[in-house]
Each structure stands twice: as structure tokens, then as C-alpha cells.
Homo-oligomer: A and B are copies of this chain.
Amino acid sequence: MPPERKPFRRIGPDQRRDAMIDAMLSLIAEEGMAAATTRAVAARAGVTPGLIRHYFDSKDALLSAAYERHMSALTAATCGPHQGRSAAQRLARFVAAGLRAPVTSAEAVSLWAGFLAHVQHGGAMQDTHAATYAEFRDHLQALIADALVEAGRAVPEPALRRHAIACNAVIDGLWLEGGMLPDAFAPGELARIGLDSVSAMLDLALTPDMIEEEDTP
């Protein structure tokens, strides 16, 4: 009797890559970075450990790919093309989008936390980190500038930078709290607090009705 070997199907290379990245992400989110071993990832992806090395140069490469995917998903969900009649409305929607699921969620924050330590201590992940951070803050600063100009206020660049730093901080802080203590806030509460805070800091009215869905097609 021939030794039984696991049967398998060949699927598209991109699909396999994605399956492994998905497995890695869900493992980190659910059981933490320490549990995300090559064997565990392979098992969850329904493959043999050896296959990981066929698609990625090393475990670190897989980790980098996973990090990149997670961060670009977050950025896309927040910075995505928010339509709005006014600049103020676009800003309001940006703030609210970042403080709602799926961006603000226990899984997203858990993942980010798992990666954070690895980002700081060398590796290719630092580039992704810097790029993501810069994109987010630049986007926010542009939205703020537009909204202030729209309101007829000329703000010099240093003050604009400070505004962007501060608004970014509130959003980050609320995002963190919301992800780490999911039950401590009512749905929509964080978005409202974020809106109020940014309003106060910029002295610019951002009202809840700005973020409501539009039913007019």
C-alpha cells in the first residue's frame, strides 16, 4: 500500500498568496503575533508549511505583505473617495469613516498592535509604515486646508500643520480606545465625539447631518 499523501488542487498563484496572507492576518488578530508561526499559518490556509517558502522568500516577507495589505485596507476605507458637496462635508466624512467599523474595530486594532512592535525594530515594514502614516496625515491636512479656505479663513502653513497634527491625534486616540474597549462606547458615539472635537479645534462647524447617507441617486 502506497503511503497516503494529501491530495491537493492547484489554484491560481495570486489566490494562494492571498489565502496565506488572509491566514496570517486572521491568526494575528485572533491569537496574537506569537501564535502566527509558519506551521499555524499553513494549517489555516489549508496547505503544507513548505509551500509558504515557495511563495515568500521568508516568513518576514509574508509578514510584510500582510502588514501592507492591512494598512492599505485601513487607508482605503478612511481616505477613500468621500463625495461631498462642500469641503467641510468631505472632512466630516473622513473623520467619521475612521471612527466607525470596520476601521475602528477590535480586529483592526489588534492587528495593528501585533505589527507595531515589529515595525519599530527593523525590517522592510518601516517603509510601509512611513508611507501609510504620511499618506493619512497629508490627506487630512489637505481636507482641513480646503475646509478652512471654504470658510474664508486664510491659515498660514505652520498653523495648518499643527491643526493636522492635533486632528490626527484625536482620531488616532479615539480609534485606539474604540478598538481596545469595544463595549465602552455606544455605536456612533466615537464618530460624534471625533466630529465635535475637530469642530472645536478648527473652530469650524462639522455637524452630524453631514455624514448621513444620501438617498438621492
Contacts and interface: CB of A to CB of B under 8 A. Distances in A.
Interface string A177-206: 100110001000000011011001101000
B117 A33 contact: yes
A162 interface: yes
A38 interface: no
A114 B113 contact: no
Contacts of A31: 121
A139 to B, nearest CB: 16
B169 A173 contact: yes
Contact of A32 (B118, B169, B172): B118
A120 to B, nearest CB: 6
A74 to B, nearest CB: 15
Interface string A89-121: 000000000000000000000100110111011
Interface string A65-81: 00000000000000000
Contacts of A180: 120
A40 interface: no
A174 interface: yes
A202 to B, nearest CB: 8
Interface residues of A, number: 36
Contacts of A120: 32, 110, 113, 180
A165 interface: yes
Contacts of A170: 166, 169-170, 173, 197
A132 to B, nearest CB: 12
A23 interface: no
Given A32-B121, A116-B117, A201-B201, A172 B162 contact: no
The 10 closest A-B pairs by CB, nearest first: A169-B173, A173-B173, A32-B121, A172-B173, A113-B116, A169-B174, A166-B197, A200-B201, A200-B200, A114-B117
Given A32-B117, A162-B193, A166-B170, 20 more contacts: A34-B121, A110-B117, A113-B113, A116-B116, A117-B117, A120-B180, A165-B174, A165-B185, A166-B194, A166-B196, A168-B173, A169-B170, A169-B173, A169-B193, A169-B197, A170-B173, A172-B172, A173-B176, A197-B201, A201-B201
